[in-house]
Structure 1
Amino acid sequence: MTDVERSVRGDAAGDPGARAAVVRAVLWLLVGVLAVRQVAVVLRRPPGERLTDLETWTGATGVLHIAGSLYDPGRFTGTPFAGLVLKPLTVSAEQALGVVWTFGSLLLVVLLGFVAVRALPAPVSRRTAFLAAPVAITLLMVSLPVRNTLHLGQTSILPVLLVLLACFAVRGERLPGVLTGVAAALQPAVLLFAALFWLTGRRRAAVGGGVTFVVCTALAWAMMPRDSWAYWVHHLAGAGLGERPDSLANQSLHGALLRFGLQGPLEIALFLVLAAVVVVLGLRRAARYARDGQLLLAVAVTGCVAVAVSPTAWQHQLLWVLLAVVGRVGTRASDRLVWPAVVVLVLTLPGKMLLPNVGVVLPVRDNVLLVAALAAACAVPFLSRTSPHWRQPVPTDYAKPVPARFAWVPLVPLWRRVLSRPNLLLELLLIRVVYSAYAKVRLAATAGRSAAEEHGRQIHSAEQWLHIDIEHWANHTVVGIPWLRDFFDYYYSTFHFIVPLAILGVLYVRRPSDYRWARTTIGFATVLALLGFWLYPLAPPRLMPGLGFIDTVHGVQDLDSPDFGALTAVTNQYAAMPSLHFGWSLWCGLVILLLAPKLWMKVLGLLHPLFTVSAIVATGNHWVLDAVGGGAVVAAGFGLTYVLAGPRRLQALPDAGRATDSGAGGRPEPEAGNDGDTGDDSGRPVVVAGPASSKA
């Protein structure tokens, strides 16, 4: 092995087993931190704001205390059997019950993680077996269903755990059926697992589950006849309990149809038809995966079916969707992370962070958890264990290793330079999530008007000392030339997002290897800019009192309540240093300068940062030094990418061949300076991302 390869792979960094042990210890530490945080978040809330569902049931005025039906106040959403089980808890003190309930729920989460890990389909690699438990428990801890369950004091973890125990932890046929029946008595849609048992040949377990469900329900009916009638008949198996069924919290087919405006017999008929289709397709797929040796995936698919066809599926009941992360999708190694990433993002982030507030995608955003459940149940083509790609997917082409830039700053081993383009869905999701996080941090990074104006006076004084305080002159000059003012107003408002996204799109299609380093560079620059927003809130010239600036974009400002148009409520008025308007435009100009094949393209690309810096100064939205700061973070972004990931020029490994399109049916990308040959006659390695040629 060459010295270069050692510097990239880090073979000298230590024993792999020791590194794995350190990683495992860090993951378990993360689990502990998350557990402490969850307990603290719940128990630090004042009474009345924590464990709200549990308090509604068992508190001093809870429905389990008062005489009459559980369902008269409309606050209890569980089955009569659940009410029967919870009745003894009403004698507990609220504080003690809250603590015990929260810790008990966390223990159930940990147990659920261990059981799920034991159920992973064989063969399981040694590294996976070593790290799977803390990773699984961490994902459970941060998932929306678990967080919602802990916050509300719900019981939704218990049915999932009972089903997993029935499928993986107990032997025989009788006890699995009993556990499944009890779970169904707590959450009726879980009775679908009896059908899964039947379809996979476990007939006694299926019958046992059905009988146990009937016995538990009959017991509750005998002891609480009025409540049982109210739940099963009056409220149609709980469909009318809790929040409005058309609220966004109800992520079932029934809730989605109601949100689409359907009502009455038509909605009920359509729901029954769609539910029947989902049940048939989902259970057939689940049975097939179970026979294939992927029983955990079969359980996840069945749970997703139960979520979709239940009249109500609240957020705390959607843990089944997270279990579908075990399914393997895609024949290429580069695609294997797409489905797990989608599931984790959907189950950990709210829909408004995943998709923009655009009318055409609102139906998907409002029903994103239901869409994920339906996809897992009926659509996603999970690989069979008999597939040749199950264990050995098509490998990813990597660039030839490069030496570290500095001996004391090793290249990041995970950033091996990939020659093919990344998965489009995963890229779009990550870009959306990163932008949402950027917007939230930008909005939160403010220290108030007084600090921002003081920093504005500091910047203004510094520019006067440097004799670059041209903002007032430029602003008033442009105001006196209407066509120039309109041009800069339009340029400032329009091209900030369009041009970077267009460049990334072109690079993704035409220059995938260049797309990766370009995307990484602008990402670093944006993160560094967020630090600037946080540490140095700055009032732009248009919001500085007494300096006479004119906001040409939005008109005269009330400095106590500045207006930034439609974005006023979702942007930070004092996130001016550094200027990402100029920073992103400079990134665009440099990328075009490096990659454009024609001179006129390079010149046109460099005009964009020139027009942008003129626009931000002339419209009164930035100081000149803001642009300097924007240039600094972009330079730092390029520098960090170079230091941590190596140079932009890539060389293919001798046995890797040419970089190919990772999208289906894509054609190989021509190497710079070649018309399709994989190398020259001298046998030298091919440069696949060097200086752009006329064919780029």
Structure 2
Amino acid sequence: MLWLVVAALAVRQMAVALRRPPGERLTDLETWIGENGVLHVTGSLYDSDRFTGTPFAGLVLKPLARAAEQNLGVLWTFGSLLLVAALGIVAARALPGPVSRRTALLAAPVAISLLMVSLPVRDALHLGQTSILPVLLVLLGCFVVRGERAPGLLIGVAAALQPTVLLFAVLFRLTGHRRAAVTGGAAFAACTALAWAVMPGDSWTYWVHHVAGAGLGGTADGLANQSLHGALLRSGLAGPPEIALYVALAAVVCFFGLRRAARYAGDGQLLLAVAVTGCVAVAVSPTAWQHQLLWVLLAVVGRVGKRASDRLVWPAVVVLVLTLPGTVLLPNIEAVFPVRDNVLLIVALAAACAVPFLPRTSEHWLHPVPADHGAPVPARWSRVPLLPFWRRVLSRPNLLLELLLIRVVYSAYAHVRLAATAGRATAEHHGRQIHSIEQWLHIDIEHRANHAVVHIGWLRGFFDHYYSTFHFIVPLVILGVLYVRRPADYRWARGTIGFATLLALVGFWLYPLAPPRLMPGLGFIDTVHGVQDFAKPDYGSLTAMTNQYAAMPSLHFGWSLWCGVVVLLLAPKTWMKVLGLLHPLFTVSAIIATANHWVLDAVGGAAVVALGFGLTHLLAGPRKLRPAAVPAAAKPQDDLAAPLPVPVPVQMPRATDDPVGGKQL
């Protein structure tokens, strides 16, 4: 099944790359070998900043300039996918042992899948770049070929294509493979000298004028450059102070990172050593574009944490950072912009110099401290829970992983909610349906409530503020309190609201609905957003932030009802329970009074929340857990009530004849 997933991802990646318009697909490849590409025209490769490779890379690519453009695009994409598959297979076979048979079977397809969905591979396939090849050459040199000279030769050729890869020759030297290190340096020098001999002007421009390619391609301070040099330029530094600080930081990163890589190689974790060295190369390179950051993904093999519950934190961080853009991982808040803009660099620096990867000699390498699990109390139906392997963990989940999970899930929710629209006509048609049903049921109170609140200034301001603010604050506060005080119940509550939100997204997609404030001719007043221009289908700038037709079901009321139910079930005091129940009451009043929802939207919100609680109960069992069994030795005993010990007669063994002649007991 996993290999079928790999095949599906490969087909999809080829389709995405080749179905783009001619001016948007394989843009770098087109720049190199197209009709007016730099490899076709006479003159220097670097007359413009379109070619960013080394002169040796230009020398290797020049024969491709005579190939048919259409056929080359297909072959290039297919060949790149084959390189990714080979890279994944080699990386999977290089996992540090001992590895179980199941892990060995899963490793290759999982590795290839992660590589295909990662940002560097997607970027390389979109641009038509060669950045996958140096990584594969290094892995082949470290794990496939034998001897001392062949690995060095592959490293040297890879460094001729991507100069900072020469740091692997330093790794060879630190690990005692002196001949491989010398061969790597010699191969790099030979390839570079060959390029100097054939293209002396281009070589001078690249190595001297541009200082190993710095300044080619996009601007060095652009977000695409995830290196120390780019981060310092984005921070506002420039000129000699920036260069001096960059050189000093690069030296520090090389010193600590390469020493760590050599230590991991000596510990038998050669793949982790390769990943750490690659992360050092990413950080210290003058320009490290997104398609050159595959080294960071290889760092996922490192094991971090003594507890089993912490083992997934580092892999999850690496995979999320390498597959999702920073705008999805972090909110649009100015205070976190420095982290969001440099998140790939931060992870690379962490892998190179900071993350405490476990050595294989650690007692926790194979046997981490297991998580405590609790069994739910018996349910009324014998088939509950349906997923007996869904074990309820009692310990508190990792905070970083939870924050990432909440952020990624909310970002996905926002994107799906924004995309789930079928147009204004359909949404208004559904709005008239809902209005007719409410009139038939005699629950169409929205118009009267809306106009009554409009004329009471303080009440209108209260409902407007409550609608805009408490929708997010209250659920986050409740989840935060449960996380700190009641971890087991936090996991249960998080699952219920997750199921409810997922079901709501299905509703948004299947039944786009215009809220009362966007229904022309009914006379509703939008108290929160102001007067809307019904002549514009996009309703001004509001649609750029959210889908205005995602009204059924109402998650404003659904989440508030979830808050009320959780507080009612878990709060220790009566006044807390009453206060928790006031929140859904105020929310349903606010969504109706501000004309943002119909009454039946609130009914839909209650339905998805009920289904969320029901699904959690059905799959994982009741919320309450069985009390932990107390060992008999730990149970307190009443000395007066305890029965007196009964003396047991002891029979002494009698003397027997020793075969040697003596006596023994």
Same fold (TM over 0.5): yes
- Correspondent of 1:119 among 71, 94, 104: 94
| Aligned twin of 1:224 | 199
- Correspondent of 1:279 among 254, 259, 266: 254
Structure 1, residues 450-500: CA drift from partner, whole Å, max 9, x if none? 111111111111101000000011011111111111111111111000000
| Aligned twin of 1:378 | 353
In 2: Cα distance, 1:579 partner to 1:324 partner: 42
| Aligned twin of 2:430 | 455
| Aligned twin of 2:84 | 109
- 1:414 CA displacement: 4.3
| Aligned twin of 1:239 | 214
| Aligned twin of 2:285 | 310
C-alpha change, 1:517 and 1:560, in structure 2 (3 Å) is farther
Question: Contact (CA 8 Å) 1:398, 1:652: kept in 2 or not?
Answer: no
Secondary structure of 2:449's aligned partner: helix
- 1:411 CA displacement: 2.5
C-alpha change, 1:401 and 1:605, in structure 2 (3 Å) is closer
In 1: Cα distance, 2:375 partner to 2:575 partner: 33
Secondary structure of 2:356's aligned partner: coil
- Correspondent of 1:346 among 318, 321, 336: 321
1:263 aligns with 2:244: no
Secondary structure of 2:523's aligned partner: coil
> Residue 597 of structure 2 aligns to which amino acid in structure 1?
H
> Residue 353 of structure 2 aligns to which amino acid in structure 1?
C
In 1: Cα distance, 2:352 partner to 2:315 partner: 15
Alignment of 1:595-674 (within 5 A): 595-651=570-626, 654=629
- Correspondent of 1:543 among 510, 518, 531: 518
| Aligned twin of 1:525 | 500
Could you tell me the percent identity over the aligned residues? Answer: 80
> Residue 370 of structure 1 aligns to which amino acid in structure 2?
L
- 1:566 CA displacement: 7.8
- 1:651 CA displacement: 1.9
> Residue 284 of structure 2 aligns to which amino acid in structure 1?
V
In 2: Cα distance, 1:342 partner to 1:505 partner: 21
- 1:47 CA displacement: 1.8
- Correspondent of 1:326 among 301, 313, 318: 301
C-alpha change, 1:413 and 1:151, in structure 2 (3 Å) is farther
Secondary structure of 1:539's aligned partner: coil
- Correspondent of 1:95 among 61, 64, 70: 70
Alignment of 1:178-257 (within 5 A): 178-257=153-232
1:388 aligns with 2:363: yes
- Correspondent of 1:428 among 392, 398, 403: 403
- Correspondent of 1:143 among 112, 118, 128: 118
Question: Contact (CA 8 Å) 2:385, 2:617: kept in 1 or not?
Answer: no
Structure 1, residues 228-284: CA drift from partner, whole Å, max 9, x if none? 011111111111100111111110011111111111111111111111111111001
C-alpha change, 1:678 and 1:98, in structure 2 (3 Å) is farther
Secondary structure of 1:73's aligned partner: coil
> Residue 240 of structure 2 aligns to which amino acid in structure 1?
P
In 2: Cα distance, 1:678 partner to 1:496 partner: 47
Structure 1, residues 435-455: CA drift from partner, whole Å, max 9, x if none? 000000000001111111111
Structure 1, residues 332-385: CA drift from partner, whole Å, max 9, x if none? 000000000000000000110000011111111011111110110011110011
In 2: Cα distance, 1:79 partner to 1:59 partner: 19
Question: Contact (CA 8 Å) 1:583, 1:634: kept in 2 or not?
Answer: yes
Structure 1, residues 413-443: CA drift from partner, whole Å, max 9, x if none? 4421111111111111011000000000000
In 2: Cα distance, 1:299 partner to 1:331 partner: 23
- 1:680 CA displacement: 8.2
C-alpha change, 1:678 and 1:270, in structure 2 (3 Å) is farther
In 2: Cα distance, 1:654 partner to 1:135 partner: 40
In 2: Cα distance, 1:140 partner to 1:500 partner: 36
Question: Contact (CA 8 Å) 2:379, 2:622: kept in 1 or not?
Answer: no
Question: Contact (CA 8 Å) 1:353, 1:432: kept in 2 or not?
Answer: yes
Question: Contact (CA 8 Å) 1:405, 1:646: kept in 2 or not?
Answer: no
- 1:560 CA displacement: 3.5
Structure 2: any 5+ residue segments left out of the alignment?
639-665
Question: Contact (CA 8 Å) 2:421, 2:547: kept in 1 or not?
Answer: yes
Structure 1, residues 207-231: CA drift from partner, whole Å, max 9, x if none? 1101100000000000000110111
In 1: Cα distance, 2:626 partner to 2:173 partner: 56
In 2: Cα distance, 1:165 partner to 1:587 partner: 54
In 2: Cα distance, 1:563 partner to 1:420 partner: 47
Of 247-256 and 398-407, deviating more is 398-407
C-alpha change, 1:599 and 1:189, in structure 2 (3 Å) is same
In 1: Cα distance, 2:224 partner to 2:273 partner: 26
> Residue 220 of structure 1 aligns to which amino acid in structure 2?
A
- 1:405 CA displacement: 7.0
1:156 aligns with 2:131: yes
TM-score of the superposition, structure 2-length normalised?
A: 0.94
| Aligned twin of 2:648 | none
- 1:540 CA displacement: 0.7
Question: Contact (CA 8 Å) 1:543, 1:562: kept in 2 or not?
Answer: no
C-alpha change, 1:156 and 1:678, in structure 2 (3 Å) is farther
In 1: Cα distance, 2:57 partner to 2:630 partner: 62
| Aligned twin of 2:443 | 468
| Aligned twin of 2:641 | none
Question: Contact (CA 8 Å) 2:160, 2:191: kept in 1 or not?
Answer: yes
Question: Contact (CA 8 Å) 1:165, 1:176: kept in 2 or not?
Answer: yes
> Residue 296 of structure 2 aligns to which amino acid in structure 1?
V
- Correspondent of 2:373 among 377, 380, 398: 398
> Residue 87 of structure 2 aligns to which amino acid in structure 1?
L
In 1: Cα distance, 2:289 partner to 2:296 partner: 13
- 1:152 CA displacement: 0.8
In 1: Cα distance, 2:205 partner to 2:279 partner: 27
Question: Contact (CA 8 Å) 1:592, 1:601: kept in 2 or not?
Answer: yes
C-alpha change, 1:401 and 1:474, in structure 2 (3 Å) is closer
Structure 1, residues 46-89: CA drift from partner, whole Å, max 9, x if none? 22211111111111111001000000021000000000000110
CA RMSD in angstroms, aligned pairs only:
1.8
- 1:402 CA displacement: 6.0
Of 91-100 and 402-411, deviating more is 402-411
> Residue 256 of structure 2 aligns to which amino acid in structure 1?
L
Secondary structure of 2:373's aligned partner: coil
Structure 1, residues 613-638: CA drift from partner, whole Å, max 9, x if none? 00000011011100000000000000
Aligned length: 638
> Residue 133 of structure 2 aligns to which amino acid in structure 1?
L
TM-score of the superposition, structure 1-length normalised?
A: 0.89
> Residue 428 of structure 2 aligns to which amino acid in structure 1?
E
C-alpha change, 1:421 and 1:561, in structure 2 (3 Å) is farther
Question: Contact (CA 8 Å) 2:377, 2:624: kept in 1 or not?
Answer: no
Question: Contact (CA 8 Å) 1:52, 1:153: kept in 2 or not?
Answer: yes
- 1:126 CA displacement: 1.6
> Residue 55 of structure 2 aligns to which amino acid in structure 1?
P
C-alpha change, 1:278 and 1:485, in structure 2 (3 Å) is same
1:134 aligns with 2:109: yes
> Residue 406 of structure 2 aligns to which amino acid in structure 1?
I
Structure 1, residues 273-328: CA drift from partner, whole Å, max 9, x if none? 11111111100110111111101000000000000000000000000000000000
In 2: Cα distance, 1:522 partner to 1:656 partner: 36
Question: Contact (CA 8 Å) 1:554, 1:563: kept in 2 or not?
Answer: no
- 1:654 CA displacement: 4.1
